[in-house]
Structure 1
Amino acid sequence: MSSQQKIDRLGPILHFRGGDESKIRVAAMIVSPETAPPPANITVRSGQIAPLLIATVAGLNFWRHDFTMAADEGGYRLGEAWYPVVTDLTGDMRIAFVSCNGEENGDLNRDSAERNIMWARLADEHSVSPFALLLQGGDQIYADEATKDHPLSEDWPEFAPENPDPQALASLTRHLQERFADRYMQILSAHVCAGIFATIPSLSIWDDHDICDGWGSLPEHLIKSEVGQAVFSVARQMYLLFQQGATDADIPALFWDPTGRNLGWQRDFPGVTIFAPDLRSERDRDDIMGPAGWRAMDALQPKGAHTIMVSSVPLLGPRLSLLETVMLAIPRMQHYEDDLRDQWQSHSHRDEWRRMLKQVLRLRESGPVTVVSGEIHLATRAVMGPQNTVINQLVASGISHRAPPSSYALCLGLFAGLGEAPLLGHPIRIKQLPGQKHRYVAQRNYLTMQRRKGHWTAKWHLEESGVTPALALDDERV
């Protein structure tokens, strides 16, 4: 992998659209040069599926096949190539969860084998015991360097010029489209990842690095500037294309809010509901979600016996508001304000955090709720009690982002010992992973969840320590 390498072909990449006891619906995305002929048809039992051209951006054509596979079908054929897929969503099933696939600086120049070592392990596991779904919890790319080498955005996000020339702004949009597309193409085409994306349908939610570091927690004048809005607009377009296989025309069918102001979503499987609130599209320094997101959250009703929430930022965490107070009092530490303001636990979001926790407790009335999250580049877990309404949170981060020092994880673990209880009678505790001594593990990692005979368990896959013992998710012991 190198920033000098030009990738102009990608796919197929599967996106999960829906499923029930008899079938699953998916979209397969293929990206090719604008001058190339259309890709081959996809063949499934019901017939031949021709590709649909949904967009042309940055010299690339985005082709999509929309198709259904019967529960006993087991895969699809593209041209002469066969791609196995788990198509039976009843009974036992396995889900993989990943986040933080990249780094802020020099990510495209990293050695591919080193960068993708955890992806290679996931691929090996998938070949032995296939996954039905790949959940991607945010920061699927690190787009922070995409703004470089253009005069309007060279100093972003520290500075944005006022009243830029319209031609220069149009030039910036083209520049960003090319840079975002190049980043997605290189990262998604990595050899060990290509087979995963072609055979495991994905469900993704974005986080700040899919836009830029700290999006929404930056000063308001930067977010609302014409440069800031150009960055967001292009990031959103590329998120829809590469991570959802979609354009604005598909939004009413795929997301909570038909206007697209919030890109949260819900999918119902046999026996399980998975949902992901969008914590970036409406975010500003005071609010994590706006009216569109909260309307959808208030109306959400799980249909499965188990509910999985994907929160790009950990929902259950330590008393970061105390740390925020201390750091803001130290001038040289104030540049971390945006990072702390990104968290649910920030002083700025305390009331909104309580509102979301109450919503999750409401969902808990229908059955067990598991929150999965990434973002912090560490592995950990948390519980919110009491036992009769326990909520489990599993944090797996990141699959390719290198871990911070172990000393950082130890200090955060000591801080977490202070405890937190934003809702009276529902204390939050940060706990060790099964088999681990400390609350936070500073190793690259990903998470797997498995349903067997109706019961869910989870395991963390840690770069140095290996696979943890299984953690029961529908057991009320905490």
Structure 2
Amino acid sequence: MVFPVPSFTLDPSQPTSDPNAQFFRSPTELGPLLRFADISDNCWQGSVLVIAPIGSEPHFEVSIGSWKPLLIDSFGSFSFYRFDLVIVLTHQPQHVSYKVTSSFKTHSHSFHVPSVLESARFTFWSCNGFGGLHPHEKYETSSVWNDLLKNHERRPYHIQIGGGDQIYADGPHMDLFNLPLLNEFMETADLKDREKVEWTLEHEKTVSERYFCGYAHWFQEEGFAEALATIPYTFVCDDHDIFDGYGSYPAAQQGSPVIQNIGRIGYRFYLLFQHHTTFQRAFQDSLFPENKGYNWIKQFGSNILVLALDNRSSRTEHTVINEDCWTSIWTTLETRLQDSPTPIRHLYIVATVPVVYPRLLAVDNAMEAISKLQSVGRKEEKVFLGGVGHGAVMHRLRGSFGQPDLRDDLMDEWTHPNHLEERNRMVERLQQIAKEKRVRVTFLSGDVHICGVGRFRTEGSDVVPDLLGANVRMDSKAMYQVISSAIVNSPGPDLVVSLLHSNPRVLSPKVTKLPNTVEEMFELFEKDVDGKVLKHKRLLPRRNWSCFETQENGSYKVEIHVENTNHAEESVVYGFSIPELV
């Protein structure tokens, strides 16, 4: 997406003006950050990013050769150096060691690359931070990450997918909106006055510094920092990477100079830290379509393709992804399926917010009714509503953007009435691709601070709630949904989990609005992590992460690792298999 560019530039030589900068870790350098780019022509491609003081170029060595740095950007007194890696795949898996030497320190790490005939073992997680008014003091940031790393030591993962909210720009550790200039903007009582607020050099400076300092702080968190250096990552953006609900607010608010420029700066640092690229280089570095979005598609080995949808940069109240972007997505996907040297058997779609999910229409209707009260004036009255998209507990009746705070969470859902038609067009196109190409489709999503498994399937194809039903093996409409959220943020409240379980387990075509297609959630969680029998078995509100591996019989092994009640103990695994489409 092309953002408006201010008529001035930030002087990187000037000292910080952020009043909270003293609370952030101030690095002498940051990294290495190890990114997976793609597998193409039997070559693994990736990059290592190092942020170092200007004029202090780091040295990079790897066990299979050495590479020179590419200076892609600078900010303040720091430069962003990228080392591009190309590793020729062999008939054996490879353990690749590398070393980064700077004027301050030498960092030595290693990572794993699959064989040329192997599909990658990968892990998926989301919501890597704390947001809003969560009682985060109860939770450690590192315990679930340490659990993932212990499993990585036993059976290494080739790739990690971050499913959105890798940072919380609006969370208590970064708190973008406590900047005095933005706080003044948010406290402007008349919403129409906010639309007239001009974006100034001081806005540009302080907001840019806050994003940079926030990334520098959070990317050094224990556990997460080690994972960034040892498991090649590929990430996708969700709202908290910019700020809560970005894209789902009323048009006048979303299009205001302040919000659009916050978005531009948020995306600048998202591209740098999470994709090792810039606005100018993004398309060259395989984020597409050019100047219209940041989707990506990558091969994860011999028979797996992963498509990540950019659900944020062009989002509005009524559109998740605009039509130009959808056209490019389908064209690119068809080309990659057609050109793959080996048949693609499994297509994963990273959709950030669940595509298969229970409905909360009663709560949504209440939020819409409250939203209509905005003409009466802003009220700071508080109500207990729980969280839906982001696990919050207390929300203001009148939100900061002239709507109930919970409304943007609901508006983010693919199953919201504003987005259901677009969701269904996507699903029907994927059904067609699955049928023609005989490729199994699975959605990977986070956002909701619970874990669970759902599925689309042909109506009547398998009336038994069985993940591996024989009829489903031949059903091209059978598409699985894995929900894994959150790896750090606090779990969603029990009230919302109860509301979500009030839906029927199977939703008919009359509800799904998809021809001859039902949705269902599986009762995967018979017992809690402590062995107690659960009343609600479809969705579990505990911190978690997931992992995926292709089996010899063609099925796909999935494990959801759920945090134990004693955070020091190993996670409890809830496993199942996704059948290959035959």
Is 2:56 aligned against 1:56?
no
Is 2:284 aligned against 1:253?
yes
Structure 1: runs of 5+ lacking an equivalent = none
Displacement after TM superposition at 1:316 (Å): 1.1
The residue number in structure 1 matching 2:321 is: 289
2:43 maps to a residue whose letter is: K
Q: Using the alignment, how far apart are the partners of 2:137 and 2:89 within structure 1?
A: 39
Choose from 59, 66, 87 the match for 1:69: 87
Q: Using the alignment, how far apart are the partners of 2:187 and 2:275 within structure 1?
A: 26
The residue number in structure 2 matching 1:406 is: 494
Q: Using the alignment, how far apart are the partners of 2:572 and 2:22 within structure 1?
A: 33
SS in structure 1 of the partner of residue 121 of structure 2: strand
Choose between structure 1 and 2: higher helix proportion: 1
Distance 1:241 1:126, change over 3 A: same
Mapping 1:303-342, distance limit 5 Å: 303=340, 304-321=344-361, 323-329=363-369, 335=404, 336-342=406-412
SS in structure 1 of the partner of residue 140 of structure 2: helix
Is 2:424 aligned against 1:364?
no
Q: Using the alignment, how far apart are the partners of 1:18 and 1:181 within structure 2?
A: 27
Mapping 1:328-477, distance limit 5 Å: 328-329=368-369, 335=404, 336-365=406-435, 366=437, 367-386=439-458, 387=472, 388-389=475-476, 390-415=478-503, 417=505, 419=507, 420-433=511-524, 435-436=526-527, 437=534, 438-453=537-552, 454-464=554-564, 466-474=571-579
Is contact 1:152–1:161 with CA below 8 Å preserved after alignment?
A: no
What are the Cα deviations for residues 304-330 of structure 1, in whole angstroms up to 9, with x where unaligned?
211111001111122344542244346
Distance 1:342 1:183, change over 3 A: same
Is contact 1:13–1:28 with CA below 8 Å preserved after alignment?
A: yes
Q: Using the alignment, how far apart are the partners of 2:577 and 2:22 within structure 1?
A: 43
Q: Using the alignment, how far apart are the partners of 1:277 and 1:476 within structure 2?
A: 23
What are the Cα deviations for residues 47-78 of structure 1, in whole angstroms up to 9, with x where unaligned?
32121211112432111101112335421321
Is contact 2:303–2:346 with CA below 8 Å preserved after alignment?
A: yes
Q: Using the alignment, how far apart are the partners of 2:95 and 2:319 within structure 1?
A: 44
After the TM superposition, which of the residue ranges 9-18 and 389-398 deviates more from structure 2? 9-18
Q: Calculate the TM-score normalised by the size of structure 1.
A: 0.91
Displacement after TM superposition at 1:105 (Å): 3.7
The residue number in structure 2 matching 1:6 is: 25
Displacement after TM superposition at 1:165 (Å): 4.7
The residue number in structure 2 matching 1:102 is: 129
SS in structure 1 of the partner of residue 502 of structure 2: helix
The number of aligned residues is 471
Q: Using the alignment, how far apart are the partners of 1:348 and 1:450 within structure 2?
A: 35
1:70 maps to a residue whose letter is: V
Q: Using the alignment, how far apart are the partners of 2:483 and 2:457 within structure 1?
A: 18
Q: Radius of gyration: which is bigger?
A: 2
Mapping 1:146-185, distance limit 5 Å: 146-156=176-186, 161-165=194-198, 169-185=200-216
Is contact 2:119–2:304 with CA below 8 Å preserved after alignment?
A: no
Q: Using the alignment, how far apart are the partners of 2:407 and 2:186 within structure 1?
A: 17
Q: Using the alignment, how far apart are the partners of 1:263 and 1:137 within structure 2?
A: 14
What are the Cα deviations for residues 426-462 of structure 1, in whole angstroms up to 9, with x where unaligned?
1001222255551110100111111232431101111
Instruction: Tell me how large the CA RMSD over aligned residues is.
Output: 2.6
1:161 maps to a residue whose letter is: R
Task: State, as a whole percentage, how many aligned pairs show the same letter.
Answer: 24
